[in-house]
């Protein structure tokens, strides 16, 4: 029998979320997560994944994953520090470092885990972190875990960042300071102002930490936002995920060798959680090789992104200020956003509503993510459905 307190808490809060249009229903997919997906027997144009380059279903990744599974087994067996590390993990880390042009890299079980690991391994309660107000939830949680003072600056507002950095430095209150930002902001598609951030960091001797979950594979000809700006030598922590453009699962931190050495002995998710499976590792490494071999997928992603953006914008949708293929359709009201997404679904487009707490209240949106795997026909069909539903609901 569950506790009455828990029952009361859950009933009250679930009901509240449902009434306010903030309750998210999770759909079971009956197909691979490609450009078209099947849910309850219905085929839909999938504009909701982060599978930017279509690599999640790529036959080259499946081949090496199967081989690694056969050779090394289904699981890694233990935490790497306890039972040794599989050679494939080391090969992946070397590949990531080469790709990111850093001295070294360390792989974690997810991008989320990287932020749990890296921030608290370096920052503590005597330190302060300057954090963009729109940073991802995992950054916020990673900062909290470190117990450092969190100083939020207005989104991409360099005057605000500079003033707060100066104040923090001159206060003499903190041992260490760090600036953390997303490379690409996932719900809006805008790019962090890294050259300005690095300049401020250098002026006040502050560490820099860029979580490039949505920039890797997308910017810098695939190598990410830091490469895009040519700042490989100036950013201390480059965080990335293997779950989005790379198409698999996992995350990494790339940086100087001594930073990576420190994370290997002091970051708790590395020390106390079993590492990625051999199949994940082999597939991720192959994905990076594919990005190094050619920009074909990267170029297709941008072509598709530009095409969808142009189509939706010309219909009169508010697509915000995205500078990347991420294409939000900002509706505002949460309930209306959910209703809009539901109608798109009924007509054949899978584009999920994103509402508070993922984005600020009153900025509900349908987030569209065209990938390299979409055809022009799929995108044309999706745009036609957007037009029909948008007009029907008085949104355009
Ligand atoms: C900026 C950022 N960091 C980390 C993550 C988490 O990555 P993963 O899905 O690999 O845990 C995300 C995922 O959306 C993200 O957007």
Residue 244: active-site member: yes
- Best residue among 243, 245, 246, 252 to mutate for probing ligand 1's pocket (most ligand atoms within 8 Å of CB) is 243
Burial class (CB in 10 A: 0-12, 13-18, 19+), 99: buried
Sign of CA dihedral 276, 280, 285, 287: negative
> Ligand 1: which of 119, 191, 238, 241 to mutate, judged by most atoms within 8 Å of the beta carbon?
241
pLDDT band at 82, cuts 50/70/90? confident
Range with the lowest mean pLDDT among 76-80, 103-107, 274-278, 380-384? 76-80
pLDDT at 1 over 70: no
Q: Which of 244, 298, 309, 374 is catalytic?
A: 244
2 has pLDDT over 80: no
What mean pLDDT comes out for the span 176-205?
A: 97
Please classify residue 26 by burial: count the beta carbons closer than 10 Å to its beta carbon, then call 0-12 exposed, 13-18 middle and 19+ buried: exposed
Whether 2 is a known active-site residue: answer: no
> Per residue in 23-36, pLDDT tens?
878 999 999 999 99
Distance CA 286, CA 288 (A): 5
The pTM of the whole model exceeds 0.85: yes
213 lines ligand 1 (CB under 6 A): yes
186 an active-site residue? yes
Q: What angle do CA 395, 187, 115 make, to 5 degrees?
A: 160
209 CA distance to ligand 1 middle (Å): 14
Q: Do 365 and 329 contact (CB within 8 A), yes or no?
A: yes
Tell whether the model's pLDDT for residue 364 goes beyond 70: yes
Distance of CA 392 from the midpoint of ligand 1 (Å): 35
The CB of 109 under 6 Å from ligand 1? The reply is: no
Q: Quick one: pLDDT band at residue 39, thresholds 50, 70, 90?
A: very high
Q: How far apart are CA 367 and CA 328, in angstroms?
A: 4
* Residue 374, token pair as written in the block: 């979409």
Does the beta carbon of 181 lie inside 6 Å of ligand 1?
A: no
pLDDT at 395: 94
In tens, the pLDDT along 282-327 reads 999 999 999 999 999 999 999 999 999 999 999 999 999 999 999 9
Q: What is the pLDDT of residues 114-146, one digit of tens each?
A: 999 999 999 999 999 999 999 999 999 999 999
Q: What percentage of residues in the chain have a pLDDT greater than 70?
A: 99
SS (HEC) of 209-277: EEECCCCCCCCHHHCCHHHHCCCCCCCCEEEEECCCCCCCCCEEEEECHHHHHHHHHHCHHHHHCCCCC
Q: What does pLDDT average to over the chain?
A: 96
pLDDT tens string 213-242: 999 999 999 999 999 999 999 999 999 999
């Amino acid at each position: 029998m569950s506790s009455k307190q828990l029952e009361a808490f859950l009933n009250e809060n679930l009901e509240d979320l449902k009434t306010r249009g903030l309750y998210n229903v999770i759909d079971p997919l009956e197909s691979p997560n490609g450009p078209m997906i099947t849910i309850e027997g219905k085929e839909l144009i999938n504009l909701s994944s982060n599978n930017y380059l279509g690599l999640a279903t790529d036959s080259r990744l499946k081949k090496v994953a199967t081989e690694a599974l056969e050779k090394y087994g289904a699981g890694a067996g233990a935490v790497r520090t306890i039972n040794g590390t599989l050679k494939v993990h080391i090969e992946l880390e070397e590949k990531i470092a080469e790709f990111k042009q850093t001295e070294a890299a360390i792989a974690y079980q997810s991008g989320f885990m990287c932020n749990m690991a890296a921030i608290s391994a370096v920052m503590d309660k005597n330190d302060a972190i300057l954090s963009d107000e729109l940073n991802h939830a995992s950054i916020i949680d990673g900062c909290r875990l470190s117990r450092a003072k969190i100083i939020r600056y207005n989104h991409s507002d360099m005057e605000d960042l500079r003033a707060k950095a100066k104040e923090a430095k001159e206060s003499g209150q903190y041992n260490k300071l760090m600036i953390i930002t997303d490379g690409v902001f996932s719900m809006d598609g805008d790019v962090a102002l890294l050259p300005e951030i690095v300049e401020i960091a250098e002026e006040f001797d502050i560490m820099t930490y860029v979580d490039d979950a949505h920039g890797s594979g997308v910017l810098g000809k695939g190598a990410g936002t830091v490469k895009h700006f040519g700042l490989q030598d100036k950013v201390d922590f480059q965080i990335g995920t293997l779950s989005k453009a790379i198409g698999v699962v996992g995350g990494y931190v790339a940086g100087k060798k001594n930073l990576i050495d420190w994370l290997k002995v002091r970051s708790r998710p590395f020390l106390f959680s079993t590492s990625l499976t051999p199949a994940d590792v082999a597939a991720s490494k192959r994905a990076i090789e594919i990005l190094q071999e050619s920009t074909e997928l990267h170029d297709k992603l941008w072509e598709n992104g530009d095409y969808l953006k142009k189509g939706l914008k010309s219909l009169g949708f508010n697509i915000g200020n995205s500078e990347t293929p991420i294409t939000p359709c900002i509706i505002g009201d949460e309930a209306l956003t959910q209703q809009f997404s539901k109608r798109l679904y009924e007509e054949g487009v899978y584009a999920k509503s994103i509402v508070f707490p993922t984005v600020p209240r009153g900025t509900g949106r349908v987030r569209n993510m065209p990938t390299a795997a979409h055809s022009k026909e799929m995108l044309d069909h999706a745009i036609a459905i957007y037009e029909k539903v948008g007009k029907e609901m008085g949104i355009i």
